[in-house]
Amino acid sequence: MEKVFRCPGRHGYAVEVSPFIPHRVACAASQHYGIAGCGALLVLDETESGVAVVQSWQWADGLFDVTWSEANEHVVVAGGGDGSLQLWDTANRGAPLRVAKEHTQEVYSVDWSQTRGENLVVSGSWDQTAKVWDPSLSHSLTTLRGHEGVIYSTVWSPHIPGCFASASGDGTLRIWDVKSAACRLAVPAHRAEILSCDWCKYDQNIVATGSVDCSVCVWDLRNVKQPISTLLGHAYAVRRVKFSPFSEATLASCSYDFTVRFWDYRRNRPLETVEHHSEFVCGFDFNLHNPGVCVCEEHETIHWFSGCSFEGRTAVTATFALLSGSVTSLKPQAL
Amino acid sequence: MHRLKILAGHLSPPGAAAGGTRDVGAAECGSAGGSGPQDVVVVHGRRTAIGKAKRGAFKDTTPDELLSAVMTAVLTDVGLSPDKLGDVCVGNVLQPGAGALMARVAHFLSVESMSLRAIGEPGDLSSRVTEVDKARDCIIPMGITSENIAERFGVSREKQDAFALSSQQKAARAQTSGRFQREIVPVAVRHADGGAEREVLVAEDDGIRAGTTLAGLSKLRPAFKPDGSTTAGNSSQVSDGAAAVLLGRRAAAEALGLPVLGVLRASAVVGVPPDLMGIGPAFAIPAALQQAGLTVADMDVFEINEAFPSQAVYCVEKLGIPLEKVNPNGGAIALGHPLGCTGARQVVTLLNELRRRGRRAYGVVSMCIGTGMGAAAVFEYPGGA
């Protein structure tokens, strides 16, 4: 079943499913593809019949990423084109609880950590620095320098406390340790810009990168001389990569080529390509609560798909009819 | 600009990429500025049908009736009371005292009755006119200027006939598919035929000849010069009609709660040799585009007046305008050319066509002007919300 939400005049940049409320997502959006104009932060609930807007806020500049608090179901942090991070409360339709303005250029990535009781936020900016914050966003705890290009993505390791990965326009994937405020590892992963990275949920050594060179590469941090898998198929730059929370070997990527693709990186092959989008797909997320729900986002539209299932060895042939309101059917097939 | 550069870098990175086609890149395009309260906006426009002079729908109708019909329609449509109008400007060519110049940006209403006034009566002119070449050229009959262009620039009879045929076909299609319904104001007129008078409601252009063929056009004799290429069939028709366009500053329109149909982005008037007056658009259009910071490629539609096929073809080819952008609903050859009315008529037709297409778009209105001028304006249709 596919549900669609349209936000006219806003290009979605990032979407994240709430860790507490299974049918709730937060979405960061910008006017004019994020090039100029203002931004919006939307909190949406998927209902039986469609989609309900829980809260929506406007921001004077584009918003490029959003992350839910792991401690409080009402709290969400967004990163904006004006270099700010904002702390929002879904119960409060007014101004954000807090605005932190330290980055000197666009904040393209925000992530809330979820390991072992630590509560930290990491932000990645086009000013080439990453900053770590406590949940009140009062001021940054550390600033991490080292990248020689804009930072597109900063993601906490789900396994190792105080450790995050970053993807940059300088073509490197870097692993950072917050305690020592240092870069532990710099991998020259691509010759072109790297727009996204993510950690495998099942293996703490595995990280994926998505690049402007149209490839998705999967790395074992114990041996970074070459990737353990190179996944080719996207026709344009890869905008975001995410590992599946359900299946060890599965990850998904979205691209400027209007598709979302699913891959089995162990067997180095594509699983499924969702081709029916009509615009750049910038963001998507897996739903932890409901196995197989992917939330895709693109120009003015957010789609929910239910029933993607890549458990185990099942390959899925999906017939998605992506006209709004239509029903999709998925038939898992054994290999 | 920085963000634009970064995003553009994602789509066309330096060096080759593994897999994928590289047919995407950034293309320069203009935007002619955003929207401000000082913008000159077109609130609304209507026109009467165009009737053939002397024999057509408005043969017995005085220009003030036509004027009154369109003026009233425009004001009624937008619910504006006449006392709110600041300036009323009427364009006319052949009325006594009207002169042969066209009003410019403050061009509100345009009307012509070529049934009641003839071209051959220029009125009072200094006897010194004949002594100065360019001044003398101002009273060259228009058809001769068309022949001059055809000869000087090598526009063949075949090309001219083909252009005329296209105008007729486009206009016929537009008429039968009802495209003009929104812009035409029906006018009730009286026809005096013999002793009897009858009342007729005129709502359709009567000059369009849907059955035109190349073969038929090629048989016609030149109308202005024995060995010429301009004929009655491939030239604009002598016609009656009126059109009205309501303009204002955006701030004024908003204050009065009026809609915005279009935005005037640029306008230009240029001088050209009077004996080649038809080349006017070839110089006026680039001037207007430059003023707007836009290019031919940015325009969706060009309304270029088809005074004569020689000059229309010349201008289109000189500027490299794709033919499918030119007068998509036909032009003066098929619709007729009520002289002082045409400019406003083109604006009405242009904006209605852009509105029909639905998207934000730019268009050009342009014409040549007898005595040696060209005028052009760039309009923007703002599109939906």
Residue B308, pLDDT above cutoff 90: yes
d(CA B6, CA A62): 15
Give the pLDDT score at B124: 59
DSSP, collapsed to helix, strand or coil, labels residue B264 as: strand
Residue A214, chain B, CB below 8 Å: the answer is yes
Give the pLDDT score at B121: 54
**Cβ separation B18–A237 shorter than 8 A:** no
**Cβ separation A126–B21 shorter than 8 A:** no
Give the pLDDT score at B105: 26
**pLDDT band at residue A296 using 50, 70 and 90 as cut-offs:** low
Give the pLDDT score at B138: 76
> How far B11 CA sits from the closest chain A CA (Å)?
7
Q: Which residues of B touch A193 (CB under 8 A)?
A: 9-10, 13
Cα–Cα nearest to A202, from A244, A252, A264, A262: A244
**Cβ separation A234–B19 shorter than 8 A:** yes
Q: Which residues of B touch A126 (CB under 8 A)?
A: 6
A249-267 average pLDDT score: 90
The torsion region of residue B56 among left (phi > 0), alpha (psi -120 to 50) and beta comes to beta
Closest chain B CA to residue A212: B10
d(CA A14, CA A79): 10
User: Which of B3, B6, B20 shows the shortest C-beta gap to A236?
Assistant: B20
Indicate the residue type of A80. G
**Cβ separation A81–B6 shorter than 8 A:** no
Give the pLDDT score at B50: 95
Query: How far is CA A15 from each of CA A151, A281, B287, B321, rounded to the nearest angstrom?
Result: 19, 11, 48, 45
Closest chain B CA to residue A215: B18
pLDDT in tens, A2-17: 667 776 667 778 888 8
Residue B346, pLDDT above cutoff 80: yes
**pLDDT band at residue B126 using 50, 70 and 90 as cut-offs:** low
For an interface test with B, the pick among A10, A33, A35, A150 (most B C-beta atoms closer than 10 Å) comes out as: A35
Residue whose pair of structure tokens reads 């998904």 in the numeric block: A252
**pLDDT band at residue B385 using 50, 70 and 90 as cut-offs:** very low
d(CA B108, CA B98): 15
Say if CB B65 and CB B240 are below 8 A apart: no
B109-128 average pLDDT score: 59
Q: Which residues of A touch B7 (CB under 8 A)?
A: 33-35
Q: Which residues of B touch A106 (CB under 8 A)?
A: 3
User: Which of A35, A36, A235 shows the shortest C-beta gap to B21?
Assistant: A235
Q: Which residues of B touch A (CB under 8 A)?
A: 3-4, 6-7, 9-11, 13, 15, 17-21, 24, 385
d(CA B311, CA B301): 18
Give the pLDDT score at A335: 25
More confident call, A329 vs B319: B319
User: Which of A169, A213, A256 shows the shortest C-beta gap to B11?
Assistant: A256
Indicate the residue type of B96. P
DSSP class per residue in B105-159 = TT--EEEEETTTS-TT------GGGGGSHHHHHTTS-HHHHHHHHHHHHT--HHH
**pLDDT band at residue B384 using 50, 70 and 90 as cut-offs:** low
- B280-292 and B309-319 are packed helices; what angle lies between their axes, rounded to 10 degrees? 40
Pairing type for strands B90-91 and B109-113 reads parallel
d(CA B304, CA B278): 11
Which residues share a beta bridge with A305? A2, A294
**Cβ separation B19–A235 shorter than 8 A:** yes
pLDDT in tens, A29-65: 887 777 877 888 999 888 877 788 899 998 989 999 9
A238-261 average pLDDT score: 90
> How far B27 CA sits from the closest chain A CA (Å)?
16
A253-267 average pLDDT score: 89
d(CA B46, CA B349): 9
Closest chain A CA to residue B20: A235
Q: Count Cβ–Cβ pairs < 8 Å, chain A vs chain B.
A: 53
d(CA B142, CA B237): 12
Judged by average pLDDT, the poorest of A94-108, A150-164, A238-252, A301-315 is A301-315
Residue A130, pLDDT above cutoff 80: yes
Closest chain B CA to residue A280: B11
A280-302 average pLDDT score: 69
- B142-153 and B309-319 are packed helices; what angle lies between their axes, rounded to 10 degrees? 40
Say how many C-beta atoms besides its own lie within 10 A of residue B71's C-beta. Answer: 22
Written as six digits, the tokens of B232 are 């009655």
**pLDDT band at residue B85 using 50, 70 and 90 as cut-offs:** confident
A68-86 average pLDDT score: 94
Judged by average pLDDT, the poorest of A26-40, B113-127, B172-186, B244-258 is B113-127
d(CA A335, CA A332): 9
**Cβ separation B20–A36 shorter than 8 A:** no
**Cβ separation A237–B6 shorter than 8 A:** no
> How far A157 CA sits from the closest chain B CA (Å)?
26
Give the pLDDT score at A233: 93
pLDDT in tens, B129-144: 666 666 677 778 889 9
A65-87 average pLDDT score: 95
The torsion region of residue B68 among left (phi > 0), alpha (psi -120 to 50) and beta comes to alpha
List all residues of chain A from 58 to 87 with a beta carbon under 8 Å from chain B.
81
**Cβ separation A237–B11 shorter than 8 A:** yes
Cα–Cα nearest to B253, from B77, B107, B34, B37: B37
Residue B167, pLDDT above cutoff 60: yes
Written as six digits, the tokens of A253 are 């990527």
Give the pLDDT score at B108: 33
> How far A220 CA sits from the closest chain B CA (Å)?
22
Give the pLDDT score at B62: 86
Residue A36, chain B, CB below 8 Å: the answer is yes
Residue whose pair of structure tokens reads 């937060």 in the numeric block: A26
More confident call, B125 vs A31: A31
End-to-end CA distance of chain B: 25
For an interface test with A, the pick among B1, B2, B7, B10 (most A C-beta atoms closer than 10 Å) comes out as: B10
- B279 DSSP 8-state letter: G
User: Which of B10, B13, B19 shows the shortest C-beta gap to A232?
Assistant: B19
d(CA B220, CA A334): 77
pLDDT in tens, A87-122: 999 998 888 999 999 999 999 999 999 777 788 999
Give the pLDDT score at B98: 59
Mean pLDDT of chain B: 86
d(CA B267, CA B284): 8
Say if CB A34 and CB A283 are below 8 A apart: no
Share of chain B above pLDDT 90, in %: 60
CB burial string B306-336: b at 16+ within 10 A, e below: bbbbbbbbbbbeebebeeebbbbbbbbbbbb
CB burial string A207-240: b at 16+ within 10 A, e below: bbbbbbbbbbbbbbbeebeebebebebbbbbbbb
d(CA B304, CA B290): 17
Cα–Cα nearest to B305, from B265, B342, B350: B342
B54, containing H or E segment:
none
Cα–Cα nearest to A227, from A236, A239, A218: A218
d(CA A170, CA A150): 7
Residue B347, pLDDT above cutoff 90: yes
What is the model's pTM? 0.55
Give the pLDDT score at B65: 86
**Cβ separation B15–A214 shorter than 8 A:** no
End-to-end CA distance of chain A: 24
Give the pLDDT score at B13: 62
Residue A321, pLDDT above cutoff 60: no
User: Which of A81, A193, A214 shows the shortest C-beta gap to B19?
Assistant: A214
Helices and strands counted in chain A (H then E): 0, 28
pLDDT in tens, A176-232: 999 999 999 999 999 999 999 999 999 999 999 999 999 999 999 999 999 999 999
Residue A35, chain B, CB below 8 Å: the answer is yes
Written as six digits, the tokens of A244 are 């599946």
DSSP class per residue in A118-139 = ---EEEEETTS-EEEE-TT-SS
> How far A314 CA sits from the closest chain B CA (Å)?
27
Share of chain B above pLDDT 70, in %: 83
Closest chain A CA to residue B18: A213
**pLDDT band at residue B119 using 50, 70 and 90 as cut-offs:** low
ipTM exceeds 0.85, yes or no = no
Rg (CA), chain A: 18
**Cβ separation A213–B17 shorter than 8 A:** yes
Half-sphere exposure of residue A293: CA atoms within 13 angstroms, side-chain side: 21
**Cβ separation B385–A193 shorter than 8 A:** no
User: Which of A106, A232, A237 shows the shortest C-beta gap to B10?
Assistant: A237
User: Which of B3, B17, B21 shows the shortest C-beta gap to A192?
Assistant: B17
For an interface test with A, the pick among B4, B6, B21, B23 (most A C-beta atoms closer than 10 Å) comes out as: B6
